[in-house]
Amino acid sequence: MLTHHVLFWLKADTSEEKKNNFRAGLESLKGIETIKSVYIGTPAPIERPVVDTTYTFSLLIVFDDLAGHDIYQVHSIHKAFLDEFRSLFEKVVIYDSQ
């Protein structure tokens, strides 16, 4: 199993409409056949020094293996998502684990 966890910080001036469109774009990634499960979220209202709540969206994807992840990276749906929404990114951090 491989998990792909992406944290997105969108630019401060991103409108609610664009945020809604961004979330729909994240949802579109579910159409990639090598994805086993997806969780899309926003920061929980937890106030502890060790909890980072500064990001805008969290995307957690589970694959069977590294090969599934590699297919995802070059998949046309993933590329279309990046092409459409990359301009909204202020910062992106990715954690991959197996």
Tens-place pLDDT, residues 42-76: 999 999 999 999 999 999 999 999 999 999 999 99
CB 24 within 8 A of CB 85: no
pLDDT digits (tens, 9 = 90+) for 7-36: 999 999 999 999 999 999 999 999 999 999
Query: What is residue 72's predicted lDDT score, i.e. its pLDDT?
Result: 98
Q: Per 3-state DSSP, what percentage of the chain is helix, strand, and coil (rounded to 5)?
A: 40, 35, 30
User: How much is the pTM?
Assistant: 0.94
Domains of the chain: 7-97 (3.30.70.100)
Helices (H) and strands (E) in the chain, counts: 3, 4
How much is the pLDDT for 58?
98
